[in-house]
Structure 1
């Protein structure tokens, strides 16, 4: 009976792992993950601008001098957060084309960008300074659509436009052959001329029909019907913790957590993070507790699974030389939230006792930080810091200099150490018995 149960359990884990790997390697999701990695420096730079404008500059400048200095951060915001959707579409077009081994990745990026612009409304309602009436201005684009709000539109249009363009490009009868002795760049552009025309014409037709018959545009439809419902579920406390835990569990099976989190969670958490940064820069109410940086700072202390807590537990309480040796090697990268030496060296992977705290401790950390943020004891996260920023410093910076966030992270570390201790002892006993059996 026990053997049968074990066999069924193994089959379930094998199937679960296979499905997860298949999802993570799906070409569109992989392209999405690659694209976010490309534009991540924009978001980190935006966080730097917000931090300088609202924390550093006010320390020594006031009045008009402060306003002049803050133009620097405002310009950074315009070139980062306020073009997030605009930047995402062509990057996705390029990465998808490369992943599909399509020869003209640059043109794919241009087509994706052009398609996004075509679908954007060209008329904008502006409120006068006195707020008395709205003025309709034509021939302009809004930062609202180009920036964070337009990120999901950039994703969907970037993927669809690139797929359409590649599909048309594979049709031989749509190619224009100019003969020999033609520069390769010119020949390539003419080869893809008709597919490009067809792709952009389809998006132009859709945009026209939406305006004529629906008095709307695709950007608003995507935002209201897809982006907001998905964001609300995935960034709800239960939704975020569940998806994040599934990703962390996969890591214990040797599959990197970004397979799940990088595709299902990171995009929507980034939207929340960017909106928080924009609101803080504009001195408005900070809308969200759960963001990309919140999850990392309070749920990834020392890396996925809060393994810095495990390293501290090993140094303080472990009596196994091999464990202390691994911890000594892993502590330096662990201080910068790089924990592969622990995951594969201790190991966490396929170590049944260690799977439990590795999956649950991030949940505990995020819940603790969520509680203190929700009651107003700690500032909301408003600055995106690089994920390699050391613990304690990252808590201070991401909350724009709130020392209480540092205390909360210290509390999480203490609880994490206590939480890891019994599982560490259990794991070491298993290691010792395994070593004895092998001898």
Structure 2
């Protein structure tokens, strides 16, 4: 055991520390975190409309649905202003944090990132018509500049909502990075217009960003122009199809799911916030999948992804990474050590809301050899069981983004759109984690008694 810990501490921990301090990855993580209010608002609107419209319609409660139609409309508006245009919010926060981390004006970085995103996605929108239109109507539309058929209309210069949701997150990441990186480099080279000290700071910042901002925007435009000329496709569309879609598909594979679970636990054991270190991986692969699940639920379509970002939380990371709320319960119920019980009593309330720092650093679990095995094994076992049951279709996948501080069990019930089977599976995985933790809690008590 000690040999393993020494090896991990020598080779793995330094790598994790370096990864966690990379400014780009920190900006990517912080960009996703900053969009949380938007994600939660959109998810809440979807959840409410499921309660007010989706299920009542299935039950034939037409009168009830008509009565609450104003609330349904409000929820739909919230959706349109949140998850329906999620990529815009992410692009803004990504650019802000990237520029800020390199010591230049974050607001300018935010604006450039959004501009780069819009320059890199297709601005042609096609609408399929539910009824065929007449040939005379087709002619009028074509004469007006649209491309029309009997059952569709394509308009140039209009961004489709489908281009602005999570489907184009990789476009926002890559082109935001290109634009803001050029801006940062030019700012560091001091290629700026300097204003007198008497000029207000806001004006000085705007003029300082003028030349770097213009050059970065033209650089992004040139890249897109050349790519479109050579391939006939927008770079953003190509990215979504060739990079984002395969990565999200790979994220449905057991190997990637279990590897990320294992690495998060390893980093956490050595006191490094594993979820933050691997945040860019978690958020860029499984969060877009979760957002597309939410959208599919809203549109009453088939849920496309079985394993998403929230799946880790409801089936393994209850109480925080490692399922530490079950460690707390095991200590309170079976430990004979007064020191561990004292810490567990203090950590119980935060643990119920998925805040595990008190138990991780107060017990501590970090670098505690007796708890190394259950801390690694419990989440890996739980994820394995939940993964295959979810993939088999025996429980509903996560399709609602729930605040991370939601207590376990309730978290599963809400996140899976009130699926009692998923709630039961969450309870089962919690029991399994408890049984894995329990022998080591008893062993810890015995070690303490022997020492005394």
TM-score between the two structures when normalised by the length of structure 2: 0.89
Q: In structure 2, what is the equivalent of residue 393 of structure 1?
A: 410
Q: Spell out the pairing of 1:406-421 with structure 2 (5 A cutoff).
A: 406-421=423-438
Secondary structure of residue in 1 paired with 2:390: helix
Q: In structure 2, what is the equivalent of residue 45 of structure 1?
A: 41
Q: Does 1:240 align with 2:257?
A: yes
**What is the deviation of 1:399?**
1.5
Most deviating of 70-79 and 195-204: 70-79
In structure 2, C-alpha distance between the alignment counterparts of 1:140 and 1:295, rounded to whole Å: 37
Q: In structure 2, what is the equivalent of residue 112 of structure 1?
A: 113
Aligned equivalent of 1:262, options 271, 279, 282: 279
Q: Does 1:220 align with 2:216?
A: no
Q: Deviations over 1:202-241 (max 9, x none)?
A: 1112222233221111111211222122222234222022
Q: Does 1:313 align with 2:330?
A: yes
Secondary structure of residue in 1 paired with 2:403: coil
Q: In structure 1, what is the equivalent of residue 299 of structure 2?
A: 282
Aligned equivalent of 2:24, options 12, 22, 28: 28
Q: In structure 1, what is the equivalent of residue 157 of structure 2?
A: 139
Q: In structure 1, what is the equivalent of residue 6 of structure 2?
A: 10
Q: Structure 1: which 5+ residue stretches go unaligned? A: none
In structure 2, C-alpha distance between the alignment counterparts of 1:347 and 1:188, rounded to whole Å: 47
Q: 1:421 to 1:197 in 2, by over 3 A?
A: same
In structure 2, C-alpha distance between the alignment counterparts of 1:397 and 1:259, rounded to whole Å: 24
**What is the deviation of 1:312?**
1.9
Secondary structure of residue in 2 paired with 1:125: strand
Aligned equivalent of 1:209, options 215, 222, 226: 226
**What is the deviation of 1:156?**
1.5
**What is the deviation of 1:119?**
1.3
Q: 1:355 to 1:166 in 2, by over 3 A?
A: same
**8 A contact 1:152–1:222 mirrored in 2:** yes
Q: In structure 1, what is the equivalent of residue 443 of structure 2?
A: 426
Secondary structure of residue in 2 paired with 1:126: strand
**8 A contact 1:234–1:265 mirrored in 2:** no
Aligned equivalent of 1:74, options 73, 76, 93: 76
**What is the deviation of 1:403?**
2.1
Secondary structure of residue in 2 paired with 1:135: strand
Q: Spell out the pairing of 1:129-208 with structure 2 (5 A cutoff).
A: 129-130=130-131, 133-172=151-190, 174-179=191-196, 181-208=198-225
How many residue pairs get aligned? The number is: 429
**8 A contact 2:178–2:220 mirrored in 1:** no
Q: 1:424 to 1:135 in 2, by over 3 A?
A: same
**8 A contact 1:85–1:152 mirrored in 2:** no
Secondary structure of residue in 2 paired with 1:302: coil
In structure 1, C-alpha distance between the alignment counterparts of 2:389 and 2:398, rounded to whole Å: 12
Most deviating of 259-268 and 245-254: 259-268
**What is the deviation of 1:181?**
4.2
**8 A contact 1:124–1:142 mirrored in 2:** yes
**8 A contact 2:307–2:390 mirrored in 1:** no
Q: In structure 1, what is the equivalent of residue 136 of structure 2?
A: none
Q: Deviations over 1:33-92 (max 9, x none)?
A: 111111012111111111100124555754544555322222222111111111111211
**8 A contact 1:246–1:260 mirrored in 2:** no
In structure 1, C-alpha distance between the alignment counterparts of 2:393 and 2:252, rounded to whole Å: 19
Q: In structure 2, what is the equivalent of residue 100 of structure 1?
A: 102
**8 A contact 1:24–1:263 mirrored in 2:** no
In structure 1, C-alpha distance between the alignment counterparts of 2:246 and 2:294, rounded to whole Å: 21
**What is the deviation of 1:128?**
2.0
Q: Deviations over 1:162-200 (max 9, x none)?
A: 11111122334x433455643333333223212211111
**What is the deviation of 1:161?**
0.9
In structure 2, C-alpha distance between the alignment counterparts of 1:368 and 1:9, rounded to whole Å: 27
Q: Structure 2: which 5+ residue stretches go unaligned? A: 133-149
User: Segments of 4+ in structure 1 off by > 6 A?
Assistant: none
In structure 1, C-alpha distance between the alignment counterparts of 2:322 and 2:52, rounded to whole Å: 33
In structure 2, C-alpha distance between the alignment counterparts of 1:177 and 1:411, rounded to whole Å: 64
TM-score between the two structures when normalised by the length of structure 1: 0.91
Secondary structure of residue in 2 paired with 1:390: coil
In structure 2, C-alpha distance between the alignment counterparts of 1:359 and 1:137, rounded to whole Å: 54
